[in-house]
Amino acid sequence: MTTIRKQSIISSGVVYVGLALGVLTQFLLAKEFTPDQYGLVNGMFVAIGTVLSFVASVGMPAYILRFYPYYKDHMPAEKNDMITWALLVGLGGFLMTLLLGIIFHAEVIHFYETKSAALVKYYYWIFPFGLGMTIFGILEVYGWQLKKTVVTSYLKEVQVRITTLVLLVLYLTGVLGSFDLFVKLYAFNYILITLILLLLLRRWKELHFTFSVSRVTKKFFSRIRTMVLLVWWGNVFYYLSFYFAQIVIAGVVPGGLTAVGVFTLAQLAASLIQAPQRAVGAAAVGPLSRAWKEKDYGRIGRIYHRSAINQLIFSLGMFILIWINYRDGIMVFHLNPVYLAGLSTFFFIGLARVVDLGTGVNAQIIGTSGNWRVELFSGLILVVLTIPLNYVLAKKMGVVGPAVADLITLSAYNAIRWWFLYRRYRLQPFDRKSIYAILLGLAGYFICEWLFGHVHSFGWMVARSAVFVLLYVAGVLLLNLSEDVLPVWQTVKKRLGFVKGG
């Protein structure tokens, strides 16, 4: 756990630096762009690009996650053909999605032209955005296995936002001249970080291309093919369900891209809750792959339990902190009042994220195991629930409808995974500390509402946040809710000089 804890802490720090930059960037985007422009750039580009990337990757990230230890243990680096085939398949998959995009262009136009005309205008510019996401996604997982999670986290969480911020500054200062040029340059954001990661891997001599089929590939080809196809469909189902809200809102909700902008800002706030998930998940992949190979179920269980309580503590705290400040944040920073419509939307999306994180690294555990079919089954259930629920609730409830659907579907999705791991391996991520964490968060919320619910200004936002953080962190430490929090706290105290190092 030491390696996971260290990499998780460093990666989490990188992620939160990226989130700080992201908050600044999104604040400027939401403030300077119209809501429909914001919905286009931060809503539809990201939603469609992400789904496109998982369709195009054809399960190659899962292939690397599952089989990297076999290649590493049995092949010299120069003859390891894993990354070669992964990248070639990813490129081939992207070309297929591009072809489908051209074939169904008329249908897309028909669905969006009334409520989201700007999406129709920039339709083809989403494809280079998706290409970058596809190739980077493959290289990112490869970097996880090489224990380069800090670098991949930096590129994905920080560099992308720095580039966006630079483009935004150039747009605001008139250098770019138009929103049109901003969008076209923004479309190459992920291609930039993909090139950077490729160059770094080559410089570290960790990237070797060979077109000879290795004995490992030949030996495991049947298993690789079966697993890749099943997990691929599962991932496509999952990310389609995750981003289907924006896709359907743009076509059926009055306001189109403006409604997407409202939903996306609420989803962005909820993404702050998810920061530990990305870092912990990335750091856990390597040890989990090794533990499955060695049949070390005890270690898998420890990773499962500790990831669940750690992520529950972080996600619940972040959810409540954002919730008590959401309305004041929009008003104090003079964002368009239309974004206030996203208050209820954030509530349901935020709860969905707490559920997702609070159930631990179940996706990574299943993804690195031999139970690949669970990916397909749970993903299929997710999509079967998501598509009709999003469409029906969006029509009936507007922007908040897909958020309610998100909570329902993610709860069902994680319940299936929890049940499978418990039934098959007796792996259980919860204990009484999970209940204590929830009760602690609720207590902090009600105290802050009682003290500050009637006052609204930047100063009161700071006071409200400080009181909640103080109560929540103190409670976590006093109740000893996590085995990983106290060692970190001791390290912080040593660094600050409160205790002497020994």
pLDDT of residue 493: 52
Contacts of 427 (CB under 8 A, 6+ apart): 297, 300, 301, 304, 365, 421
- Inform me whether the pLDDT recorded for 291 exceeds 90: no
- Inform me whether the pLDDT recorded for 314 exceeds 70: yes
Residue percentage of the chain with pLDDT more than 70 = 91
pLDDT of residue 6: 59
The average confidence (pLDDT) of the chain is 86
Calculate mean pLDDT across residues 419-445. Answer: 91
- Inform me whether the pLDDT recorded for 182 exceeds 60: yes
Q: Are 344 and 398 in contact (CB under 8 A)?
A: no
* Cα 346 to Cα 116, 248, 271, distances in angstroms: 23, 18, 10
Q: How confident is the model at residue 502 (pLDDT cuts 50, 70, 90)?
A: very low
Per DSSP, the residues of 138-168 read HHHHHHHHTT-HHHHHIIIIIIHHHHHHHHH
Alpha helices for 324-399 (secondary structure H): 326-332, 343-358, 362-367, 373-397
Q: How confident is the model at residue 116 (pLDDT cuts 50, 70, 90)?
A: confident
More confident of the two residues 239 and 270: 270
More confident of the two residues 463 and 272: 463
More confident of the two residues 85 and 383: 85
Q: How confident is the model at residue 129 (pLDDT cuts 50, 70, 90)?
A: very high
Q: Are 19 and 272 in contact (CB under 8 A)?
A: yes
Tokens in use for 320?
């409540």
For the ranges 174-178, 237-241, 474-478, the lowest mean pLDDT is seen at: 237-241
Specify the residue for token string 């496109």.
52
Inter-helix orientation angle 82-103/215-252, to 10° = 30
Q: Are 483 and 435 in contact (CB under 8 A)?
A: no
pLDDT digits (tens, 9 = 90+) for 158-173: 899 999 999 999 998 8
- Inform me whether the pLDDT recorded for 10 exceeds 70: no
For the ranges 12-21, 104-113, 255-264, 320-329, the lowest mean pLDDT is seen at: 12-21
Calculate mean pLDDT across residues 212-217. Answer: 85
User: Would you list the domain boundaries of the chain?
Assistant: 2-430, 440-494
